[in-house]
Structure 1
Amino acid sequence: MAVLEVKGLTKSFGEVKALSGVDLTVQEGEVFGFIGPNGAGKSTTIRILLGILKASSGEAKIFGQDVWSDAVDIHKRIAYVPGDVNLWPNLTGGQVIDYFISLRGREVNQARKQELIERFQLDPTKKSGTYSKGNRQKVALVAAFAQDADLYILDEPTSGLDPLMERVFQEYVMEAKQNGKSVLLSSHILSEVERLCDHVGIIRDGTVIETGSLDEMRHLTRTHLYVETKQPLNLEDMPGVYDWQQEKQGYSFQVDTEKLDDVIKKISEYEVVKLESAPPTLEDLFMRHYESGGAMS
């Protein structure tokens, strides 16, 4: 069942068109990665989903309700973490967390809150004005995961966190998924998206240019190969071979997935001594989209 559905979403600011027909679907119990560089339209889309901005045209629904007209009801069932958290400087971190949770009209689960505070290594007694960027992010993450939300909307949530805290964050995202919750994760950290997400949407210049599962998208990427042979080898001009480089003892290059069988057969003619393969990554796909202006090369 779809928890979030966006169809043909557009947003203009005067002459500037920030979104040009965005389509997204997030299913119940899945983590959806929403990726693209700064300025691509990720945050504008999320602000529309939160009812902060009104779309110029198109449709956006969460739990089957309109994100603009039904925003109050929707917010009772979602948790949101922005990429740059601003807090009240004279309130302690603990007070801010309690306030954020109370906005949804529910009592604070003190045991759950305390567990999160300890896992994220946050001192809740300090005033928010003394917090670093990373600690401000921790306040928002503790408040979000302390809530029993049905949909978590996370916009660059690990900005300012160290690698250890990023790992803690990832554990709580996976816990939410295991509990049947849905997550929309906007990020430019591709390794994070690859580790957590079931489906991915790539946005470029206000348009979603590719969506699918990671496995589906990997079919469009290239496999990295390193090979050593007894006889000299040169496949530089072979169809589907890219970035051919001769190294000290062998050769490294990339191969289009659909040409991999042909390339392996060709290599075998040269008496293979060593063959190493690295699977294609989300970053490969992402970079190919942007280097080719959105069209797969």
Structure 2
Amino acid sequence: MSAIRTNDLTKQYGSQTVVSKIDLEVEAGEVYGFLGPNGAGKSTTIAMLLSYVHPTDGTARVLGRDVRKESAEIKRRIGVLPEQYQLYDRLSGRKHLRFAIDSMGASDDPDALADRVELETTAVQRPVGEYSTGMKQRLRIALALVGEPELLVLDEPSSGLDPAGIRLLREIVVEERDRGAAVFFSSHVLEQVEEVSDRIGILVDGELRMSGDLEELKSKAGAAVKLEVETNAVFQELLTAVESVESVTGCAVTDSGPEAPSLSISLSSGAAKADVFRAIEAHATIEDFVAEERSLESLFEQGVAEASR
């Protein structure tokens, strides 16, 4: 059963189409990175999945349930971290957790949840109004984890976190995925999405421009890796050996000078780098090399550029 499945999901406000015919599927036990520039429609999509707003057209099912008809059942089985999550300054962190646990009918230990997000015992007993921005975000993450949800919906979860908090967030996302939960991770911080996501989707102007496995998307968009390799010699037998390596999509001599001849090699998969180096070293000596991997940011920029044409 899919954790999230949408079909032609659409939202219009008057004559403006905010989300247009999105077909999306997220499986249990995977992290799906949901990307898009400001105003792309990410928050509206999440609001429809959570039944905060109703779609104008199309359907959405979460954990096998229709978001329009069975929203109450869905909310009992998911954990949500909205971009803006209201906390109450006068209540302690522990009271926030206790209230959430009781409301969900869960059996979590509030102190164990606080410990998991590295909120110290003294801190969790203090009023939230005394918390720093990062401490408040850690508490919000803990609240989303109440009841061991089958699906975590995280909207800009790293907001306000310091590097240690961001590291912790990544660890929690991976732990939840390994537990079997699905994680829908919406963020504009591309590096964080790339580090934890099994698949990604790029939303631009309300349309899902790209969706799929990150390495596959890199491959479809062009070379995943560019290698510039300096060798002590370049000759046809060497070029043939490199070109025969699976995933090599191009090989050209870029400098044939006697002191530092070099090759420019394109690969569709970063995993093939070791095979390329072995092929070269069977015929020549590698003097130096530079590897440039196609990043998630370049895919994101490509999606935006294609939308503007």
TM interval, shorter chain, is 0.7 to 0.9
Return the alpha-carbon distance in structure 1 between the equivalents of residues 115 and 129 of structure 2: 23
Larger radius of gyration: 2
SS of equivalent to 1:40? coil
Q: In the TM superposition, what is the alpha-carbon distance from 1:79 to its structure 2 partner?
A: 0.2
Please say which of residues 274-283 and 206-215 is displaced more in the overlay. 274-283
Unaligned runs of 5+ in 1: 232-238
Partners of 1:240 and 1:294 lie apart in 2 by: 29
Which residue number in structure 2 is paired with residue 79 of structure 1? 79
Paired residues of 1:85 and 1:136 also in contact (CA < 8 A): no
- SS of corresponding position for 1:18: strand
Q: How far, CA to CA, are the matches of 1:103 and 1:134 in structure 2? A: 25
Say which structure is richer in helix.
2
Q: Quick one: which of 264, 279, 290 aligns to 2:293? A: 279
TM-score, normalised via structure 1 length: 0.81
- Tell me, in whole angstroms, the C-alpha distance in 2 between the residues paired with 1:166 and 1:289: 26
Counterpart residue type for residue 173 of structure 2: V
Give 1:6-25 correspondences, 5 Å limit. 6-25=6-25
Residue 306 (structure 2) pairs with residue 292 (structure 1): yes
User: 2:48, 2:264 → 1: CA distance?
Assistant: 43
C-alpha separation between the residues in 1 aligned to 2:266 and 2:167? 32
Q: Which residue of the partner structure matches residue 140 of structure 2?
A: 140
1:58 is paired with a residue of what secondary structure? Answer: strand
- 2:61 aligned with 1:50: no
Task: State the partner residue of 1:61.
Answer: 61
Distance change in 2, residues 1:272/1:294 (3 Å): farther
Distance in structure 2 (CA, Å) of the matches to 1:252 and 1:127: 62
Q: Secondary structure of 2:201's partner?
A: strand
- AA aligned opposite 2:58: G
* Distance in 2 (alpha carbons) for counterparts of 1:167 and 1:18: 33
8 Å Cα contact 1:78-1:150 kept in structure 2: yes
Residue of structure 2 in register with 1:124 after alignment: 124
Q: How much does 1:44 deviate?
A: 0.5
Unaligned runs of 5+ in 2: 234-248, 255-259
How far off its partner does 1:133 sit? Answer: 2.5
> Using the alignment, how far apart are the partners of 2:158 and 2:119 within structure 1?
12
**Counterparts of 2:202 and 2:36, CA distance in 1:** 6
Residue 250 (structure 1) shift: 9.6
Which range moves more in the overlay, 81-90 or 125-134?
125-134
Q: CA contact under 8 A between 1:98 and 1:143: conserved in structure 2?
A: no
Q: Distance in 1 between matches of 2:250 and 2:301?
A: 17
Q: Does 1:189 align with 2:189?
A: yes
- 1:41 alignment partner in structure 2: 41
Residue 216 (structure 1) aligned with residue 236 (structure 2): no
Q: CA deviation at 1:16?
A: 1.9
1:180 maps to which residue?
A: 180
In 1, the alpha carbon distance for the partners of 2:263 and 2:135 equals 43
Q: Distance in 2 between matches of 1:250 and 1:141?
A: 53
Report the count of equivalent residues: 276
Paired AA for residue 55 in structure 1: P
Calculate percent identity across the aligned residue pairs.
Answer: 32
Paired with 1:252 and 1:149, the residues of 2 have a C-alpha distance of 51
After the TM superposition, list the runs of 4 or more consecutive aligned residues in structure 1 that deviate by more than 4 angstroms: 227-231, 249-258
Question: What's the offset of the Cα at 1:254?
Answer: 9.3
Give how far 1:103 is off: 2.4
Q: Which amino acid aligns with 1:293?
A: A
Task: Report the AA paired with residue 141 of structure 1.
Answer: I
CA distance, structure 1, for counterparts of residue 187 and residue 80 of structure 2: 14
C-alpha separation between the residues in 2 aligned to 1:187 and 1:85? 16
The residue type equivalent to 1:282 in the other structure is L
Cα shift at 1:111: 5.2
> 121-130 or 203-212, which moves further after superposition?
121-130
Any idea what SS the aligned residue of 2:307 has? coil
Q: Which moved more, 1:3-12 or 1:103-112?
A: 103-112
CA contact (8 A) 2:230 2:263 kept: no
**What is aligned with 1:236?**
none
